[in-house]
Structure 1
Amino acid sequence: MTARFPVARPRRLRRTPALRRLVAETRVRPEDLILPMFVKEGIDAPRPVASMPGVVQHTRESLRKAAHEAAEVGVGALMLFGIPEFKDERGSAADDPAGIVQQALRDLSGDLGDDIVLMADLCLDEFTSHGHCGLLTPSGTVDNDATLERYASIAVAQAAAGVHVVAPSGMMDGQVAAIRAGLDEAGYTEIPILAYAAKYASAFYGPFRDAAEGAPKFGDRTGYQQDPANVREALREVELDISEGADMIMVKPGLAYLDVVAKVAEMVRVPVSAYQVSGEYAMVEAAARNGWLDRERAILETLTSFRRAGAQQILTYWAAEAARLLR
Structure 2
Amino acid sequence: MNGHGGRARRLRRNPIIRDLVHETDLHLSHLVQPYFLAAQKNVKEPITGFTGVYRWSLDLLSKKIEIDLANGLKNFLLFGAAHSETKDELGTEAYEEKGTLPMAIRTLKERFADSLVLISDVCLCPYTSHGHCGLVKRTTTAIEIDNDSSLQPLGQMALVHARSGVDIVAPSDMMDFRVGHIREVLDKNNFMQTAIMAYTAKYASSYYGPFREALGSAPQGVDRSTYQMDFRNSTEALRELETDLAEGADIVMVKPALAYLDVIREFKDRSPVPVAAYSVSAEYQMVKVLSASGLVDERKMALENLTAIRRSGADIIITYFAEFIAAEGWLK
Q: Place the TM-score, normalised by the shorter chain, in its bin.
A: over 0.9
Counterpart in the other structure of 1:258 = 261
Asked if the contact 1:32–1:75 (Cα under 8 Å) also holds between the matched residues in 2, the reply is no
- Residue 31 of structure 1 deviates from its aligned partner by 0.4
SS of corresponding position for 1:48: strand
Match of 1:198 among 186, 191, 201: 201
Shift of 1:112: 1.4
Provide the C-alpha distance between the structure 1 equivalents of 2:303 and 2:210, rounded to a whole number of angstroms.
Answer: 21
For 1:291, the aligned partner's letter is G
Deviation at 1:208, TM superposition (A): 0.2
2:11 aligned residue:
13
Shift in Å, 1:116: 1.5
Aligned to 1:44: 42
Q: Determine the C-alpha separation between the residues in 1 that align with 2:279 and 2:42.
A: 29
Code of the aligned partner of 1:115 = S
Asked if the contact 1:208–1:278 (Cα under 8 Å) also holds between the matched residues in 2, the reply is yes
- Which residue number in structure 1 is paired with residue 325 of structure 2? 322
State the Cα distance separating 1:218 from its structure 2 match.
2.4
* Structure 2 residue aligned with 1:180: 183
**Stretch of structure 1 that moved more, 193-202 or 102-111:** 102-111
**Cα distance per residue 1:197-237 (max 9 Å; x no partner):** 00000000000001111111222100100000000000100
Residues 6-40 of structure 1: per-residue CA shift (max 9 Å, x gap): 55432222222222112110000100000010011
CA distance in 2, matches of 1:266, 1:175: 24
Partner of 1:54: 52
User: Unmatched 5+ residue regions in structure 2?
Assistant: none
What residue in structure 1 maps to residue 90 of structure 2? 90
| Among 299, 303, 308, the residue aligned to 2:306 | 303
Aligned positions of 1:34-183 closer than 5 A? 34-85=32-83, 86-139=86-139, 140-183=143-186
What is the aligned partner in structure 1 of residue 215 from structure 2?
Answer: 212
For 2:56 and 2:41, how far apart are their aligned partners in 1?
8
Letter in 2 for 1:149: Q
> TM-score with structure 1 length normalisation?
0.96
Classify the secondary structure of the residue corresponding to 1:148.
helix
| CA apart distance, 1:294 | 1.0
Asked if the contact 1:299/1:322 (under 8 Å) is kept, the reply is no
Aligned match of 1:189: 192
Q: Please give the alpha-carbon distance, in whole angstroms, between the structure 1 residues aligned to 2:36 and 2:16.
A: 38
Segments of 5+ residues of structure 1 without an aligned counterpart are none
> Letter of the aligned partner of 1:255 in structure 2?
L
Instruction: Check whether the contact 2:77–2:121 (CA below 8 A) recurs between aligned residues.
Output: yes
Please state if 1:277 is matched with 2:280: yes
Q: Distance in 2 between matches of 1:16 and 1:213?
A: 49
CA distance in 2 between counterparts of 1:8 and 1:175 reads 52
Secondary structure, counterpart of 1:287 in structure 2: helix
- Aligned partner of residue 176 in structure 1, secondary structure: helix
Q: Percent identity?
A: 42
Residue 141 of structure 1 deviates from its aligned partner by 1.0
Contact preservation (8 Å) 2:199, 2:253: yes
Check if 1:225 corresponds to 2:228: yes
Shift of 1:76: 4.0
SS of match in other structure, 2:138: coil
Q: How far did 1:187 drift?
A: 1.0
- CA offset at residue 138 of structure 1? 3.0
* Aligned equivalents of 1:52, 1:189: Cα separation in 2: 37
Task: Provide the alpha-carbon RMSD of the alignment.
Answer: 1.3
Residues 232-288 of structure 1, C-alpha deviation per residue, up to 9 Å, x if partnerless? 000100110010000100000000000100111101110000000001111110111
| CA distance in 2 between partners of 1:4 and 1:200 (Å) | 49
8 A contact 1:88–1:129 mirrored in 2: yes
Instruction: Please report how far the alpha carbon of residue 134 of structure 1 lies from its aligned counterpart in structure 2 after TM superposition.
Output: 0.8
- Under a length normalisation based on structure 2, what TM-score does the superposition of the two structures give? 0.95
**Conserved 8 A contact 2:119-2:170:** yes
Report the Cα distance in structure 2 between the residues aligned to 1:164 and 1:4, rounded to whole angstroms: 58
Secondary structure of 2:115's counterpart equals: coil
Distance (whole Å) between structure 2 residues aligned to residue 187 and residue 32 of structure 1: 29
C-alpha spacing 1:4/1:113, structure 2 compared with 1 (3 Å): farther
Deviating beyond 3 angstroms after TM superposition, the runs of 4 or more aligned structure 1 residues are 3-8
Distance 1:20 1:92, change over 3 A: same
What count of residue pairs does the alignment treat as equivalent?
Answer: 325
